[in-house]
Amino acid sequence: MRDYFTVKINLPAGIVSPASLQKVLKLAYEARVRQVRFGSRQQLLISVHGEEMRPFEKALKSEAITYEVDTDNHPNIISSYCGEAVFRSGDWLGESEYHTILDQFDYRPKLKVNLSDANQSFTPFFTGNLNFIASSEPHFWYLYIRPKQSNALFRWRDLVYTNDVGRLAKAVEEALLRSVGEDINANDLYTTVMAGNSFITQPATQEVDLPEFTLPYYEGFNRYGERTWLGIYRRDELFPISFLLDVCALCLKTRIGEICITPWKSLVIKAITGKDRAAWSHVLGKHNINVRHAANELAWQTEDHTDEGTRLKNYVIRFFEKHDTRTFGLCFGIQTRAKSEVFGSILIRRRSVLGLGQLSFFSVYDLYFAENFNPNSRRYTLFERGIFKLHLPARIDRLCHQFNTSRLKLMTVSAEPAELPTPATEQSQPVHQCPSCFTIYDPDYGDLRQNVPAGLPFEQLPTDYHCATCDEPKASFVAVDLNEVMAG
């Protein structure tokens, strides 16, 4: 009997109710599982010992929980819902639209389906086979198709209405699966799918306008509106079941109806009220869960079902920390297996030089960067080939410098020439900075998120004023020189 099996449970669109997750976790705990993972397609991954597999499967079936063992015949539907509201959301795309689409999937897709808000860069656009991207036209979606086992990408000629996304996905999937191994012609595929089908559509007259990539800081306590969201990241990607059970119990107690899983293998819990903030801090402290990791540690994509990418990530990050490498605007992907699904501005691919069967005795690494360093590009350029692991961090550091130099040149070229300002006779009002997350309160701008008008000096802010980003109290803020901050 094998030692361990990997059980995969899909969480459509990265959304799961606390009660549903709690049920699965309790069954896993009874099967002597103590830690679980979340995958890059927002799915739940459970490693179960062989002796416990039969009773665990029986328990899952008794609860009518759909699962797969060591396979991914039905990939999870992923979405940008995890960042909706807490990061930037679209003009019309919101919670109800995501749920409307999910309700249409009365079948289990065999192809990868992505649902994306076009105004965000937190989740990937084109890692699916069927990539639906919200258009600027309310309730209409682009569809970009990447046939299975292909890197070709083409746009469906029509925008499809929200209420027809599920039906169109099913029709396109059926047509694509019938033509596996054949050359896919976009026009022929369109004709095949539309024969006998009717969808509410509009002509797609142009390509989708994707945003420049920036990865928002997705960890810790952060305010949005009158509430707080909590992002939880684990350095080893392992979440203790005892901790997650406490998370589910607190969600149920405080009437939080959803837990969101991100493609970065982390959790986002939204709609935390001020009165419940202390309870969430207590749960984190009880299980010794750390938050506020360095941003350059959060910007990594590693493969599911392997620790090799995680170990390499940590190896490179130690170099970054020692040399204070600037990685803002970049994300990194690590591939240790051929054709695994990771994305990144910079892509690291392991290549075996000496091996026997599936065993690798000596490996080197090839380093690539995406077109314009945008991870949503499908085009990669080789930077250097055959790098030893010892030299890999320094080569990545050099590529980061190349990115920063190219961005600086672009900003210099695009900047409008301007006259030098006349030296001011009076100093502007000082600014104050949060010591935890470095958010600045500038009286020239106020704090619109907390209804503080422009022009109000820091001293006149109410005593209960807090940082709009991390909730740090006013008393913790320190006065800083804005010019020095900008120069830094």
Domains in the chain and their CATH numbers?
A: 88-203 (no CATH), 220-295 (3.30.1360), 297-414 (3.30.413), 431-487 (2.20.28.10)
Residue entry with tokens 């509009």? 202
CA neighbours within 13 Å on the CB side: how many for 59? 15
Lay out the sheet containing 300-301: strands in order across. 300-301, 332-335, 346-356, 359-370, 380-387
Given the structure tokens 């209420």, which residue do they identify?
Answer: 163
pTM: 0.83
CB neighbours of 243 closer than 8 A, spacing ≥ 6?
Answer: 283, 287, 289
Tokens of 165: 């996304």
Measured from the Cβ of residue 382, the count of other Cβ atoms closer than 10 Å reads: 11
Distance CA 93, CA 300 (A): 27
Alpha-carbon span 340 to 305, nearest angstrom: 11
Tokens 């006013």, located at residue: 474
Give the three-class secondary structure for 277: helix
Per-residue pLDDT of the chain (488 residues; tens, 9 = 90+): 579 999 999 999 999 999 999 999 999 999 999 999 999 999 999 999 999 999 999 999 999 999 999 999 999 999 999 999 998 766 899 999 999 999 999 999 999 999 999 999 999 999 999 999 999 999 999 999 999 877 789 999 999 999 999 999 999 999 999 987 678 889 999 999 999 899 999 999 999 988 889 999 999 999 998 999 999 999 999 999 999 999 999 999 999 999 999 999 999 999 999 999 999 999 999 999 999 899 999 999 999 988 999 999 999 999 999 999 999 999 999 999 887 889 999 999 999 887 666 666 789 999 999 999 999 987 899 999 999 999 999 999 999 999 998 887 766 655 555 454 444 444 445 788 887 666 788 888 788 677 788 888 888 888 888 887 777 888 888 888 766 554 44
- Quote the CA–CA distance of 418 and 400 in Å, as a whole number: 30
Tell me the per-residue pLDDT of 342-363, one tens digit each, with 9 for 90 and over.
Answer: 999 999 999 988 766 666 678 9
Closest C-alpha among 232, 272, 236, 230 to residue 254: 272
Residue pair 161/204 in contact (Cβ under 8 Å)? The answer is no
Place of tokens 């416990």: 52
